[in-house]
Amino acid sequence: MRSKTHFPAEANGWTRAGDTRVFGRDTVFDYMNGAGELYLAYDFQRVHVQDYVRDGGPRIVAEAYEMASSQDAFGVFSNDPEGEDVGVGQGNAYAVGLLCMWKGAWFFRILAESDTLEAKAAVVAIARTLAEPIADGPKPQFLGRLPSSHLETVSVRYFHTHVTLNSLYYLADGNILGLSPRTEAALATYRPSGGKLVLLLVRHPSARDAQSAYREFSRVYLKDKPPPDGPRRIETIEGGQQVGVLIKDTFLALVFEATSRDACQRLLDDVAKHL
């Protein structure tokens, strides 16, 4: 994609203001300070930024994030996918002036500084023009490993690194699961009748890496309780919460916030069927 080619010149009366700015991996902090870490954690390549203005209307800022893969574009989007579906891209969410969208290896963030009907129409028009020349790309196949029963679909997050995990669901200071750009991870909430459980599923590059993460999790999080002989364990922690662990080949599954051992066991059983 060539940014100047695909940012529309006009959308619902809004016109481009200034040149398209481009920030790469080395300069992204100049544009967005520490917010750049979110994108770098998904193998971000560069962001193209274009302002739009209209007399009497709010400024609109359109950001097009170029990622290394469609899986990572989806991953960024999955950080906050809740909002109105306005029918653009492979997935989108509009709320209070901000439209987030992904398509192919691109993630878009288009923000109107004030949420008006006219600005919303312009935001959607810009998004549609940006998305049009981009071919669809695959979602992470890895997400097919998540059991679908009782899954809160909108809760699913896809990521790679410890930095992202801790911004979504703080686990520990250190990178105790050995997360890296080479790992795939998903966080999801399950709500069986009246309950809530959080599943963290990780696929490591090798079974040895998964075993290492299992040992470190047991040492740090389960406070050196000796692991059982089998591939799974359930431990009671503070507040009577149950923590479940299952390891299989390159996969490590962790269940948090279960209020009963049975609920934890059932989700681990379900996970095991998908690995």
| Footprint of another protein (CB under 8 A) | 29, 32-35, 37-38, 79-80, 83, 95-98, 109, 111, 114-115, 163, 166-174, 176, 220-221, 223, 237-239, 241, 256
> Is the backbone of residue 177 left (phi > 0), alpha (psi -120 to 50) or beta?
alpha
Nearby residues of 40 by Cβ (< 8 Å), 6 or more positions away: 25, 28
Q: Which is nearer to another protein, 120 or 250 (CB)?
A: 120
- Closest among 198, 206, 270 to 232, alpha carbons compared: 270
Q: How far is CA 225 from CA 23, 30, 68, 107, 212, in A?
A: 47, 46, 40, 43, 15
User: Do residues 100 and 109 make contact, with C-beta atoms less than 8 angstroms apart?
Assistant: yes
Compare residues 129 and 167 and give the one whose CB is closer to another protein: 167
Q: Which residue, 220 or 275, has its beta carbon nearer to another protein? A: 220
Minimum CB separation of residue 57 from another protein in Å reads: 14
Nearer to another protein by C-beta: 74 or 221? 221
The least distance separating another protein from the CB of residue 116, rounded to whole angstroms, comes to 11
Nearer to another protein, 196 or 248 (CB): 196
At which residue do the structure tokens 């269940």 appear? 255
**Both tokens assigned to 174:** 């250190």
CA 225 from centre of chain: 32
Contact 171, 156 (CB under 8 A): no
* DSSP 8-state code for residue 138: P
- Tell me the closest approach of the beta carbon of residue 52 to another protein, in angstroms: 16
Cβ proximity to another protein: between 155 and 265 the closer is: 155
- In 49-91, which residue ranges form alpha helices assigned H by DSSP? 70-78
Phi, psi of 77, rounded to the nearest 5 degrees: -60, -40
Using only C-alpha atoms, what is the Rg of the chain? 21
Beta carbon of residue 133, minimum distance to another protein (angstroms, whole number): 26
Smallest separation (angstroms) from another protein to the CB of 132: 25
What is the bridge-based pairing of β-strands 106-112 and 60-67? antiparallel
Nearer of residues 61 and 151 to another protein, judged by Cβ: 61
CB of 207 to another protein, least distance (A): 25
* Shortest Å distance, C-beta 144 to another protein: 27
Under 8 Å between Cβ of 12 and 135: no
